[in-house]
Structure formats: C-alpha cells, structure tokens
Amino acid sequence: MIALPKGIDMTLLQIHPRQPDASVDHGIQAIVAGISTTETCNTDLAAGPWDFDARPGYGPGSSMGDVIPTGAPRQGELPAEYREASETELHARITAAKTTLGDRVVVLGHFYQREEVVTHADYVGDSFQLANAALTQPQAEAIVFCGVHFMAETADLLSRPDQAVILPNLAAGCSMADMASIDEVEDCWEQLAEIYGPLDAADADGLVPVIPVTYMNSSAAIKGFVGRHGGIVCTSSNARAVLEWAFARGRRVLFFPDQHLGRNTAKAMGVPLEQMPMWNPRRPLGGSAEADLGDARVILWHGFCSVHRRFTVDQIATARAEHPGVRVIVHPECPMAVVDAADEAGSTDYIRKAIAAATEPTTFAIGTEINLVQRLAAQYPQHEIFCLDPVVCPCSTMYRIHPGYLAWVLEELVAGRVVNRITVPGDVADPARVALDRMLAAKP
C-alpha cells in the first residue's frame, strides 16, 4: 500500500466519481484510503508521479499495449521541497509565482489535466485551441503547457522563437503519438512507393497515389514528414474536412497515428470498411495484402489511445439500462463499435458544447477522459453527467503533470531560469508549419 501524499484533507475525499467534485485525484485518494468503494485502474495513481519518473514507461494506469520508445524524454528528480509540499502549499506557491511573473508567463491547461493544475491555467482547451491561445499572448516570455509532449511541440511551432515553451514534466508523453515514429513512417512510405510508384506523380485526374494525414496527436517530426510530402494535419474537430481536402488531391490517404479517428471519420463519409486496410509497422506491408492496399481509400496506422480504447459497447448498454433516456456522447478516438452504439460522437469541444447547450436537465454518459467528465459534472450540476467507464482511470501521461512540477517550473522562472524547454529544430519545424497551415486553410 502506498502512502497518501502529505496534507490531503480527508474531508475532501468523500466523493464518488458520479458526484460533482471536479478532482479526480481526490477520488483516487479516497479509493486508496478505503473511503470510496469505486474502483481505480491502478492505486499507484495516488502517489506523486516523481515516484515513477526514473523508470521507463508511461506510469501507473497505462495500458499493457503501450510501449514507450527508447530515448523518450525522462524527467530528472523533482526537488524534495516540491515532492513533500501539501496540496494547499503548492496551490499558494503557484499562485504567488504567477502573480510575480504577471503577463510574462501564460499557463495552458489541457481538458484532461488534473483539476489542481487546471485551476491555475489562463486558458483551458484542447491541444490546438491552447496552442492558438498562446498566440494571443505576445508579451509572454514563457508558455507553460500543462499537457503532453506533442502539445508543447505544437505550441513551439506556433509561438515566436524568443518565447520559451515549457513542459512541466518531461515524462508527460503520449502513448498514441509514440505509436508512429518517424523511422516507421519513412519505412512505410518507401514500401508504399514500391506498390503505387512515385508518390509525388499525379495521374491523369491530377491525383497523387497517397496523401499523408496526421492527427494533431503526433510528434513534430511526423508533422514535418507530412508537410514535406504534400500532406496535412487534422484534429478530432476537423478530420472530415481534412479528409475531403486530401481526397481532392490524392487517390487515397495514409492516416496516422489513430486508427479509430481515421476509421470513424472515413466510415461516416461513406468509405467502405474493406477499403480501409490497416498498417502495422511491425509487419511487412503493414500486415495487409498488396491487393487490399491497391484498392485502399484510407490506410489506417495501427495506433490507438489507451484511454479511449477502454470504452465498450457493454458500458453503453449498462448506462442505457440504468439510466433510461441517457444521452451517450463519445470521443471519435473510441473504437468504431462504441461510436456506432453511442447517440453522438465528437471532439472534447463538441462534448463540452453539447452539454452547455442542453436546456433541460439531462443525463449524459460521456466516453472521454475522466478529468474532463468530472469537471463538466461539477460545472453543470443541473445535469447528471458521468463517465461511461465506471473505473477511475485518468490518462496516465497527462497525470504526470502534478502541481509540484508546475510550482517548480514557475518558481524557476521567477529565479530567472528556464527549465524543461521544448524546442523543435528548424528543419523539422518549417515543413511541420506547412502541414499546419494547410489544415487552417482547409478548415470549413
């Protein structure tokens, strides 16, 4: 049994995930303390993430299918004063540091961050909203991105060269983004050229054989690859518009890293499943037959989000049985069967807006990361809002950003030191910006 972090107020722990307390961490502490009978996917989530920083891996709560790449950034040891501080002390120190820094710093908080971090964010949103929010703060010398590594890279791509983008914990990667490495994608591209011929040669209709499309949840190196090869970036909000852009320029699309977003979007556009072969980078020709690749409209990379893969059709059936009239909304990173069984599917922004727009008290079962679901439940007490998955299991990499790290990077800035800066090299950044610009131009 792990020890509870110092300074936890036990009266805060008496919550249940379906009650409107926005703090998932309090819920997990309550489970570990035996106060709550709810389940968590891993009781080690109650510990400070620094307990796991020195070990390779995504930390407690990650899926067995998540394999961290060799060379993934590791975080050095957080000084003891931050590891041992109480939640209340860290809150006060972060607040004081932000006050001292004023508009020299902007703090960005992803929807999936812990409540104890989001409460300090100047902007809360999805990765692309946050990168754009940083653009509205030209006076900021530092952008502290409370999210994961690819998000900080995207903010660096879009910010001025003199603005430092800081990721409070370097171990906060994204297992989905890591499923498509630049070497694997380059290798796939070479194999596809052997099947389709020169990939930059347009046919009589002006279409090239393949347009690469990457989800925002990918490394800057992958965005750069896409930019160099006539491709484009998409988000979960604009995936359909981006695929339309790609089909206007190519016979087919290579979509990575998230197979589910690719499949769900293409299926909704009428692409038959048999024209969506999978590309598993560990197998020759991605594990697909050459004939299937020849007929393909969308080649789906074998990637997935371990958080959204947890949602099941059975959970939806249970929600419907226990809550007649429930409105089920899931994220398009969920498997196709889950999206098909839900009432609606949409991005985090879609989910948030759908709940905000509901005028009558409604029961919502939501299939996305639990920190966002709990926050929405607290924000809209007139509705009953709960996570489809009854097991409390936050994104294991988002979880690595603890208030202790936020306090550390901010107090280092107060002392005139920039730590944990994320910088994308120019030869990667230039084509990556091209791919992002194409997305902005394609946006409906």
- Indicate the residue among 279 and 304 with the shorter CB distance to ligand SF4: 304
| Residue 305 annotated as part of some ligand binding site | yes
Round to the nearest angstrom and report the end-to-end CA distance of the chain: 52
| Residue 331 annotated as part of some ligand binding site | yes
| Residue 141 annotated as part of some ligand binding site | no
| Residue 95 annotated as part of some ligand binding site | no
Question: What minimum distance in Å lies between the beta carbon of 133 and ligand SF4?
Answer: 18
Neighbours of 323 (CB within 10 A): 15
| Cβ within 8 Å of residue 241, ≥6 positions away | 442, 443, 444
DSSP state of 367: E
Nearest alpha carbon to residue 117 among 381, 399, 414: 399
158 vs 133: CA distance, rounded Å: 10
| Cβ within 8 Å of residue 45, ≥6 positions away | 28, 60, 61, 394, 396, 399
- Indicate the residue among 110 and 229 with the shorter CB distance to ligand SF4: 110
Interacting residue ranges for ligand SF4, rule: CB under 6 A: 112, 148, 174-176, 217, 305-307, 369, 395, 397-398
CB contact at 8 A, 232 and 211: yes
| Residue 308 annotated as part of some ligand binding site | no
Neighbours of 33 (CB within 10 A): 15
Question: What minimum distance in Å lies between the beta carbon of 65 and ligand SF4?
Answer: 11
Question: What minimum distance in Å lies between the beta carbon of 172 and ligand SF4?
Answer: 8
The three-point CA angle 337-339-340 to 5° equals 60
CB contact at 8 A, 104 and 67: no
Question: What minimum distance in Å lies between the beta carbon of 150 and ligand SF4?
Answer: 8
| Residue 229 annotated as part of some ligand binding site | no
Question: What minimum distance in Å lies between the beta carbon of 309 and ligand SF4?
Answer: 9
- Indicate the residue among 82 and 399 with the shorter CB distance to ligand SF4: 399
Question: What minimum distance in Å lies between the beta carbon of 397 and ligand SF4?
Answer: 5
* Spatial strand order in the sheet of 363-367: 344-345, 327-330, 363-367, 384-387
| Residue 236 annotated as part of some ligand binding site | yes
- Indicate the residue among 176 and 253 with the shorter CB distance to ligand SF4: 176
Q: Is the dihedral of CA 390, 392, 393, 394 positive or negative?
A: positive
Question: What minimum distance in Å lies between the beta carbon of 66 and ligand SF4?
Answer: 8
Cα diameter, the chain: 70
Report the DSSP beta bridge partners of residue 211: 253
Q: What kind and span of H or E run contains 191?
A: helix 182-196
- Indicate the residue among 105 and 221 with the shorter CB distance to ligand SF4: 221
- Indicate the residue among 50 and 311 with the shorter CB distance to ligand SF4: 311
Question: What minimum distance in Å lies between the beta carbon of 111 and ligand SF4?
Answer: 10
| Six token digits for residue 124 | 């809360």
Question: What minimum distance in Å lies between the beta carbon of 396 and ligand SF4?
Answer: 7
| Residue 219 annotated as part of some ligand binding site | no
| Residue 215 annotated as part of some ligand binding site | yes
Neighbours of 189 (CB within 10 A): 15
| Residue 274 annotated as part of some ligand binding site | no
Beta strand 278-279 with 327-330 is: unpaired
- Indicate the residue among 304 and 408 with the shorter CB distance to ligand SF4: 304
- Indicate the residue among 217 and 259 with the shorter CB distance to ligand SF4: 217
CB contact at 8 A, 126 and 111: yes
| Residue 332 annotated as part of some ligand binding site | yes
The three-point CA angle 246-258-206 to 5° equals 15
- Indicate the residue among 309 and 323 with the shorter CB distance to ligand SF4: 309
Binding site for iminosuccinate: what residues are annotated? 110, 127, 215-217, 236, 331-333, 348
Binding site for [4Fe-4S] cluster: what residues are annotated? 174, 305, 395
Binding site: what residues are annotated? 110, 127, 174, 215-217, 236, 305, 331-333, 348, 395
